[in-house]
Amino acid sequence: MSRLYTFGTTVTKNEFAAIRGKRHRTIVYLVMILVFTFLCIGFANKALEYQKKLAVNPFSNWINIEVTRNVQDSSMNLLQALSEPALRDRFLIRNIYLSKGFGASFLDCNGIPSGLPLPKARTIDPGSPVIADLLDSPLECNTIDRRNVFREEPFGFVVTNGFLEKLGFHGDSVKYLSYGLCGDDYIPVHILGVVRDLPDHADALCTDSFYIMKSFSYQEDPFFSKLFIETTDPGRVEEFKSGLQQDFNLTADTTVTDAKRGLAVLSFSKNLPATRQLFSHHLSILYQSAGLRKFHFGPFFDVAPDTSAEMIENYVKKKRNFNFDYLAVEFSRLDKLQEFSGFIRKRYNVSMNMETVEQRQNFLFSLNISLGAILLLLIISGLSILIFLSNSLKNHLDKVKRNLGNFMAFGASRGMIIGIYTAVIFKILLISILIAFAVACAAGELFDHFILKRMLILGSGQDYFSLFNTWLPVFICIVIVVALLKTAVSVRNLLKKSPGDLIYERENNASAGYSPVNTYPDPL
Amino acid sequence: MNAFEIENLECSYLEKGPAVVWIEKLGIPKGKLTVILGRSGSGKSTLLEALGLMNNTIREGRVTYHSPCRDENLAGIWHRYRKVAAIRKNRFSFIFQDDYLMPHYTNSENMLIARLIQGGMNPVPAGEMIDRLTGSLNLSGNGIRNKFPYQVAGGQRQRLSFARAMMKDFDILFGDEPTGNLDYKNSGRLIGYIKETIREKAATAIVVTHNIELSAEKADRIVMLSPCADKNRARFSIQPDHVFDRDGQDQWINYPEQDDLVAFIKNAI
């Protein structure tokens, strides 16, 4: 069936072609402006996203106040004072606690100690939101349920991916690391999570409890109820279990194996007298057992499932006899940092490293500046699009206003003509936006992939461009709505004149000799 | 039966001061070609724009349009925007001295556009209508209908604008110097075509022109605007003896010789 000719479709088609211009000039210019804008949005969005991530990142909102011997007491007082929620709220502090930094030794994938300088480790408050934040987006979280992390069993380290790679491991291939106690004594410990970064550029993170418990001989501790055995042959694990049963009447409840590393972990029921005996008296005897001598085995650093947090806390309190290095303060926002610095200096004579304060404030400032710059850029881009479209339309209307007067003389209503021009501008904008979106997507991804990641080697883990964000639809909607409103107003203002004034190009101006009698009534 | 009844009409672009045109009483006969004559600046176009709802120049008086449906007083209609647009759309058609063809529309689209304002058309009847009109107006050669206005001669463009006006269904056809850009021969043809069309459509035509000979030859009624005796009231008016009609034998009443009428008008203007 043939398509009906209508005034709307005929005029829309021809006006679209006319405003689009020769060789699609209007669309080409619009696409150029839009591609530039979209690229800016794509890159700026990612940059801002990254900065925002850093801003809410516990590492960025984290200040370490060094606890030297001189300020030890005042630091403790400060810690006590900041347990008050009102004071925390005043300075936007979400957590404060004492922390210990230490060097930790681990065996690499070849069983060789990691060497000097020792990997950097630090302790963290188990209640710190940092833990939750870290384990919310781990690279590999292994199999540990994070609700239990640092609270009850198991104990272990959160490590960085880079550190694991340094040791020759990959995040997804390892569940345990051999951690060095005093001397050459290395025992397996859990990897609780593998993350990209840790506070203070540490390689590993653990709790105070873990740090304290590992500092003492596991043979004295009543909590440990696991043994590890290293073997590449799973059958030998059963052989080892049979040996334990036969020689010491010990039954292992469960066996957790890490087949890739040939490591098996045997769990025992802690409440059995034989288990307690094993860890308090028999471990050295086990090593001497003729039947078990051929195996490489030892205690696994973990607490029994039925060990309560309270028991660990009591134990830790009893054993705590070391000095902390830092008072770690985590802020929810950095706005009150300067004020907090003044407060602790004045009240507690505790100084914060001003360089750190300034660094954090600069970061906050740069974040706000970035946000402002992006908004300014969007406003300028939006305005340039609107001005360009408005001028294109104005030039066209100037050319055809006598013809439009003619249309009105033939009975075309003002609303009909306004509708046609808004539809034309919408069509031009929509086509330009779709083309610009496709071009910007391709250009942005190519730039991100080939220039930023390959040539500038900015790191392949981070994306530097994405158009799928909230900025883009908001920008597009605002541009479309304003452009259509501007179009409607421009056409309406032109068509306020009567058909006669439009056709004979009379200015509807009393000073030019024409009276308000000519004013065309506005139906809207 | 008149298409328009005019009483005490004062037309002006200015709110104050003397009006441009004052008409005490005038009728525009239905189904006839009425020609308005007058010197330049005598308010011919002002009057035409007032009658054709092109401009709100009616300051005082009454202009009754006897449309096929109902009578409308055009003096008080301007605040009813939709009514004005509807009358223009359904009842009036226009031809101007300039063609006002859309330069980027094909000639077919330009011809159709006024008709399309009245409603959509299927391509087949639209094509037939274009064929008939282009044939009548000698526009059918050289693929004119698919060309653009800038690709055809001035006379052809003028005929295209004729075709655009004729394609519409109308009750009144207004022409503001429609033959101003044409030679006498072509002007005669087009005015003849207008007469033929209004006879077919039972419509009325009101044409402003400077061509006195052609008016005397083709018009059914001639109305002449001349300086008003009462200068405080208006600059120009239509005196009772400046309205010329034909009798039953198609002769000008009081002027058996057409040349006498032409001479009189030339002298009066």
Residue count (chain B): 269
Which pLDDT band holds residue A446 (cuts at 50, 70, 90)? confident
Q: Is the confidence at residue A382, as pLDDT, over 50?
A: yes
Q: Is the confidence at residue A399, as pLDDT, over 80?
A: yes
In the stretch 200-239 of chain B, residues with CB closer than 8 A to chain A read none
In a domain, A294, yes or no: yes
Structural contact between residues B193 and B17, judged by C-beta atoms closer than 8 angstroms: no
Show the domain range for B70: 2-91+171-268
Q: What CATH code is carried by the domain that includes residue B232?
A: 3.40.50.300
Show the domain range for A398: 7-55+358-518
Q: What totals of helices (H) and strands (E) does chain B contain, helices first?
A: 8, 11
Residues (pLDDT < 70) of chain B are 17
What is the CB neighbour count within 10 angstroms for residue A36? Answer: 16
Assess B67–A contact: CB distance below 8 Å, yes or no: no
Of B52, B55, B168, the CB nearest to A501: B55
**What is the distance in angstroms between the Cα of B261 and the nearest Cα belonging to chain A?**
32
**What is the distance in angstroms between the Cα of B44 and the nearest Cα belonging to chain A?**
13
In a domain, A494, yes or no: yes
Please tell me whether residues B219 and B165 are part of one structural domain: no
Q: What CATH code is carried by the domain that includes residue A273?
A: 3.30.70.330
Which pLDDT band holds residue A282 (cuts at 50, 70, 90)? low
Range in A211-225, A397-411, A429-443, B238-252 the model is least confident about: A211-225
Contact assignment for A411 to B92 by CB distance below 8 Å = yes
- A26 φ, ψ to 5°? -60, -45
- Distance of alpha carbon A137 from alpha carbon A161, whole angstroms: 13
The angle, 0 to 180 degrees and rounded to 10, between the axes of the packed helices A25-56 and A7-20 is: 80
Please tell me whether residues B151 and B60 are part of one structural domain: no
Range in A162-166, A353-357, A381-385 the model is least confident about: A353-357
Identify the domain boundary among A300, A332, A350: A300
Cα A18 to chain centroid, rounded: 48
The CA radius of gyration of chain A, in Å to the nearest whole number, is 36
Please tell me whether residues B106 and B219 are part of one structural domain: no
In a domain, A328, yes or no: no
Identify the domain boundary among A264, A285, A300: A300
- Distance of alpha carbon B136 from alpha carbon B124, whole angstroms: 18
Cα B22 to chain centroid, rounded: 19
In a domain, A267, yes or no: yes
Please tell me whether residues B59 and B188 are part of one structural domain: yes
Range from A82-91, A239-248, A268-277, B48-57 that averages highest in pLDDT:
B48-57
A503 contacts on B by Cβ (under 8 Å): 54, 96, 100
HSE-CB at B155 with a 13 A cutoff on CA atoms is 11
Cα A510 to chain centroid, rounded: 64
Instruction: Check residue A269 and give its pLDDT.
Output: 64
In the stretch 404-443 of chain A, residues with CB closer than 8 A to chain B read 405-414
Please tell me whether residues A511 and A403 are part of one structural domain: yes
Contact assignment for B54 to A411 by CB distance below 8 Å = no
Please tell me whether residues A363 and A510 are part of one structural domain: yes
**What is the distance in angstroms between the Cα of B137 and the nearest Cα belonging to chain A?**
21
Which pLDDT band holds residue A142 (cuts at 50, 70, 90)? very low
Please tell me whether residues B130 and B188 are part of one structural domain: no
Contact assignment for B59 to A514 by CB distance below 8 Å = no
Q: Compute the CA torsion angle B224, B230, B233, B237 (nearest 10 deg).
A: 0
A7 contacts on B by Cβ (under 8 Å): 113, 116-117, 120
pLDDT > 70: what percent of chain A?
Answer: 71
Please tell me whether residues A395 and A492 are part of one structural domain: yes
ipTM, interface predicted TM-score of the complex: 0.92
Please tell me whether residues B65 and B135 are part of one structural domain: no
Q: Which residue has the tokens 């040939």?
A: A262
Assess B146–A contact: CB distance below 8 Å, yes or no: no
B55 contacts on A by Cβ (under 8 Å): 498-501, 518
A515 contacts on B by Cβ (under 8 Å): 12-16
Range in A233-247, A395-409, B172-186 the model is least confident about: A233-247
Structure confidence by residue, pLDDT tens digits, A318-370: 766 667 788 888 887 777 888 888 888 888 888 877 676 677 677 777 778 87
**What is the distance in angstroms between the Cα of A516 and the nearest Cα belonging to chain B?**
7
Please tell me whether residues A392 and A511 are part of one structural domain: yes
Contact assignment for B56 to A517 by CB distance below 8 Å = yes
Please tell me whether residues B68 and B135 are part of one structural domain: no
Assess B76–A contact: CB distance below 8 Å, yes or no: no
Instruction: Check residue A509 and give its pLDDT.
Output: 42
Which pLDDT band holds residue A143 (cuts at 50, 70, 90)? very low
Please tell me whether residues B182 and B217 are part of one structural domain: yes
Please tell me whether residues B259 and B157 are part of one structural domain: no
- Distance of alpha carbon A262 from alpha carbon A267, whole angstroms: 17
Q: Is the confidence at residue A148, as pLDDT, over 80?
A: no
Q: Which of A1, A496, A517 to mutate to test the interface with B (most CBs of B within 10 A)?
A: A517
* E strand map for A104-222: 120-124, 156-160, 176-180, 186-195, 204-207
Please tell me whether residues B180 and B193 are part of one structural domain: yes
How would DSSP label each residue in A241-280? HHHHHHHH-----EEEEEGGGTEEEEE--TTSHHHHHIII
Number of folded domains in chain B?
2
In a domain, A34, yes or no: yes
Q: Is the confidence at residue A92, as pLDDT, over 60?
A: yes
Contact assignment for B12 to A516 by CB distance below 8 Å = no
Please tell me whether residues A292 and A375 are part of one structural domain: no
Contact assignment for B55 to A522 by CB distance below 8 Å = no
Identify the domain boundary among A278, A300, A322: A300
Does a cis peptide bond (omega within 30 degrees of 0) precede residue A117? yes
Please tell me whether residues B80 and B198 are part of one structural domain: yes
A3 contacts on B by Cβ (under 8 Å): 123
Please tell me whether residues A293 and A385 are part of one structural domain: no
Which residues have a Cβ under 8 Å from the Cβ of A321 and sit 6 or more positions away? Answer: none
Identify the domain boundary among B169, B194, B212: B169
HSE-CB at A441 with a 13 A cutoff on CA atoms is 10
Q: Which of A410, A420, A518 to mutate to test the interface with B (most CBs of B within 10 A)?
A: A410
Assess A5–B contact: CB distance below 8 Å, yes or no: yes
Assess B44–A contact: CB distance below 8 Å, yes or no: no
Contact assignment for B89 to A410 by CB distance below 8 Å = yes
Number of folded domains in chain A?
2
Q: Is the confidence at residue A247, as pLDDT, over 80?
A: no
Whole-model pTM? Answer: 0.67
Assess A519–B contact: CB distance below 8 Å, yes or no: yes
Joined together, the tokens standing for residue A202 give 């540490």
B15 contacts on A by Cβ (under 8 Å): 515-517
Please tell me whether residues B155 and B240 are part of one structural domain: no
